[in-house]
Structure 1
Amino acid sequence: MHAPTASPSKPPHAAGPRLLADIGGTNARFALETSPGQIEQVQVLRGADYPQFTDAVQAYLKLAGQPAVKHAVVAIANPVQGDQIKMTNHDWAFSIEAARQLLGFDLLLVVNDFTALSMAVPQLRADELQQIGGGAPKAGQPVGLVGAGTGLGVGGLVRGDGHWLPLASEGGHVAFAPANAREAAVLAYAWQFHEHVSAERLVSGPGLEFIHRALLAIDGHPAAELKAAEIVDGALRHGDAICLETLDLFCSMLGTVAADLALTLGALGGIYIGGGVVPHLGEYFARSPFRARFENKGRMSVLTKAIPTYVITAQYPAFTGVSAILADRLDPHE
């Protein structure tokens, strides 16, 4: 899948290329938008390779040939409240205004990553989505998003005044809710280390690793420290029982999070699944316990069974979202 490209008839942005960025806990993705929807020169940099956010931006601009950028927008896996940013799942901390001045931009917007992903949803093509169960989305109704990666992102969209409005959310940090005795045992194990066990502690890449450690301890097996990729490989290629149960529990827990979000928002427009973990699960995810758990909401099951869930398969969907956010800010004034 590729980022959308513009029609050749659309002229370049008058003020020059716009810098688009998607900053996660592990990777920093950058691109240039030269005209509306024309996204080019995508680069993925490891955040750990750069001491500061601005160092990563400067490294990308050098790789891109030092374009004359005046306007930039950054989606970041973090709350965005005011000028100061301190990342939850990485050690970057910066002032938005100080970064703007250092980089020489006229405008630097910073938004939550799931705000950006939410804004991308209305623009995604059918071939950039995989539907997992449910019926058809209801036009104009609220939309929910969840995504497990380095953390757990949650977002939403509501329709108002003829436009889609993104909902800023830190829903990944709600308290984890077990749905059966096995999940309750994992929660009890987690309480040994964390007073507050959020959904993100378990429904994320690091959470996948934590679930595996928990199951080994609960069942009396020797401790082992497997990375998320090793757990997925052990389950899907080698048939390891503990790794497979880890994946099953992870997908079930994600189903709980997604269904709770659907009920909270009244997300009849569908639930969309992003993040870095689920795409690596391939065909397994469609037959995993995710959808059965999503539909299992007691008296509200009739509602969740009708709501479609989609895996976002677009390669760089956040760029589409931040492009729309920056356009809303700039284009009426150009």
Structure 2
Amino acid sequence: MSSQAILVGDVGGTNVRLAIAHIDSNQQVELSHVERMPVLSFPSLEEAIEAWQADGRILPSTAVFALAGPTGADEVRFTNSSWLVSASATKARFGFDHVTLVNDFAAQARAVPSNNEDAFETLIEGEAQAGAPIVVLGPGTGLGMALLVPDGREWRVLSTEGGHQAYAPVSPRERQILEVVAEDLPYVSYENLVSGLGLDRLYKAIAKLEGRVARLKGGDEIGPAAIAGDDPSAVEAVEVMIQSLATFAGNAILATGARGGCVIAGGVSEALAPFMRTSEFVARLLGRGPVSGYLSGIPVRRARNAFAALEGAAFFAPKHPA
């Protein structure tokens, strides 16, 4: 892998992060000139890049952008914002030799093998099975999921849109909440409830069921209120979201055979980590009836590295640029 400079971007529905990355001989990524900017401040990624350049920063010849949406084509339209990113248009506008678009959770996943143990918090103890896949998932503005598969001395990343699987309630209360949410959504996915946007939906649904006024709006208000215990609807909304995240994570392990472990990432899991450090979270993730034993011993960790997607994106740059 070349130690070339790479412009890397982590582009979500809320924020865009840009940086310069170098990969050293030990497959560690060094970032510099890291900057986070609100997506709503710019009409497009190109304008955000120009703002990042405003301090006289020089663009390298290679760029990789990790995007919150399905990739694989020259153009990517975001799931949770109005941005449309075109690899060819961005390449032409800035004179890049190479522009690569990858899914943001593919980048999150690729960073896992290069991160040290202190970049993770253990939620469920276990021992990874050698040669088995690792599933990386988590809530941000949406709900991402990717699979990391060992391939000799390398790693292959399989992008997925697993967050859009149909939501499955487990408790009677979740069934009540689903009925309220389904009044406005013809199809309710896990992402619709297990995400920053989903937290707002949960809060409003719970307030309606309880006959309370939904006085808070958005994860930035609901999350802190839940942690402080100031609003009963906020507390329950976060608890339901985190329990549903546990269900989703357990489902992902079963569906992908990820006996190499599960890593939960994303900005929402960082903000609401205290709700994941509970026996209820563990029981919900591992409780699978007659196949509960399949999940026993599989390690579940929470990623602490806020720049993981930027670091992982660097590995998708062409290995032998022209």
The TM-score normalised by the length of structure 1 is 0.90
Q: Verify the 8 A CA contact 2:267 2:306 in the aligned structure 1.
A: no
Match of 1:30 in 2: 18
Cα distance in 2 for residues equivalent to 1:68 and 1:279: 31
Paired amino acid for 2:187: H
Q: Report the Cα offset of residue 130 of structure 1.
A: 0.3
**Structure 1 runs (4+) greater than 6 angstroms displaced:** none
Q: Verify the 8 A CA contact 1:147 1:153 in the aligned structure 2.
A: yes
Match of 2:186 in 1: 195
Q: Report the Cα offset of residue 11 of structure 1.
A: 9.2
Cα 1:140–1:35 change in 2 (3 A) is closer
Cα 1:34–1:121 change in 2 (3 A) is closer
Secondary structure at the residue paired with 1:165? strand
Match of 2:313 in 1: 322
Which digits, 9 at most, give the CA deviation of each residue in 1:279-314, with x for residues without a partner?
112434212632221011111111223211110001
Secondary structure at the residue paired with 2:60? coil
1:43 to 35, 45, 69: 35
- Count matched residues: 318
Structural RMSD (CA)? 1.8
User: Where does structure 1 lack aligned partners over 5 or more consecutive residues?
Assistant: 1-9
Match of 2:71 in 1: 80
Q: Verify the 8 A CA contact 2:72 2:101 in the aligned structure 1.
A: no
1:97 to 81, 88, 92: 88
Q: Report the Cα offset of residue 268 of structure 1.
A: 0.6
Cα distance in 2 for residues equivalent to 1:210 and 1:268: 33
Q: Verify the 8 A CA contact 1:251 1:289 in the aligned structure 2.
A: no
Cα distance in 1 for residues equivalent to 2:54 and 2:72: 30
The TM-score normalised by the length of structure 2 is 0.94
Q: Report the Cα offset of residue 60 of structure 1.
A: 1.0
Cα 1:213–1:169 change in 2 (3 A) is same
Which digits, 9 at most, give the CA deviation of each residue in 1:24-80, with x for residues without a partner?
0010001112563221110001111111111111211223x2314110100000111
2:239 aligned with 1:251, yes or no?
A: no
Which digits, 9 at most, give the CA deviation of each residue in 1:251-283, with x for residues without a partner?
110001000000001111111011111111243
Q: Report the Cα offset of residue 118 of structure 1.
A: 1.0
Cα distance in 2 for residues equivalent to 1:319 and 1:192: 38
Match of 1:21 in 2: 9
1:185 to 160, 176, 198: 176
Match of 1:127 in 2: 118
2:139 to 142, 148, 151: 148
2:309 aligned with 1:305, yes or no?
A: no
Paired amino acid for 1:260: N
Match of 1:108 in 2: 99
Cα distance in 2 for residues equivalent to 1:34 and 1:168: 23
Percent of aligned pairs sharing the same letter: 31
Q: Verify the 8 A CA contact 1:248 1:289 in the aligned structure 2.
A: no
Secondary structure at the residue paired with 1:306? coil
Q: Report the Cα offset of residue 197 of structure 1.
A: 0.4
Which digits, 9 at most, give the CA deviation of each residue in 1:87-113, with x for residues without a partner?
111111132101110111000000000
